Amino acid sequence: MPETPSEITLTLLHPTSGTPLQSWTFRENTVIRIGRAADNEVSIRSEVVSRYHAELRRRDSQVVLVGLGTNGTFVDGTRITETPLADGQSFVLAPTGPTIRFHVGAAKAEDRMEQTMHIKFMPMMGIAVDEKKKATQVAEITESDYFQRLQTKLGALRGNKTDTNE
């Protein structure tokens, strides 16, 4: 049976470019807490991150990610409650929150930081569209009396604009 990883590195990634912003390396911790509260091993200031959002727990030969936050923890776009992590895998704290890359061992060259930056996280939302619901809602709007009156006014304004340009 393989040993539990002795060193774990977590890297906070930039919300749009995916470049590393900050890294944390842990050697002996059996539990690594992640959240907004200052007493977490990884403290991240973001409105969408819960005070105690997630934990990494060493179990046997693997590291397990446990989602605790009310806004959810996501791996590959799926909300998780608990899942083992593979080397190089990333997870997201809340649908619009920060992304963290997990590595077994020391920080990889691409994850090393020259300096630590603080940013306000921008939303990075993955949206699934219910096409049937969208079509129904669009039809409700476009068939409403109010929308029809707006269309009539718009047509009149366009007519006046054309008249003045001639």
42-43 and 31-35 beta bridge pairing: parallel
Higher pLDDT, 34 or 148: 34
**Half-sphere exposure in the Cβ direction for 157 (13 Å, CA):** 6
Q: What average pLDDT does this structure show over 49-64? A: 94
Provide CATH code, domain 8-107: 2.60.200.20
- Output the six-digit token pair for 124: 């990075």
Domain regions of the chain by residue span: 8-107, 131-165
Alpha helices (H) along the chain: 131-142, 145-165
All residues at 6 or more sequence positions from 40 whose CB lies less than 8 Å from its CB, including other chains: 33, 34, 52
pTM, two decimals, is 0.63
Please give the torsion angle defined by the CA atoms of residues 7, 46, 16 and 19, in that order, rounded to the nearest 10 degrees. Answer: -30
List, for residues 86-145, the tens digit of each pLDDT value: 999 999 999 989 999 999 976 555 555 444 444 444 444 556 778 888 888 888 888 888
Of 25, 8, 6, residue with least CA distance to 113: 25
- Kindly report which listed range (35-44, 59-68, 98-107, 126-135) carries the lowest average pLDDT score: 126-135
Mean of per-residue pLDDT scores for the chain? 84
Of 126, 113, 69, 117, residue with least CA distance to 94: 69
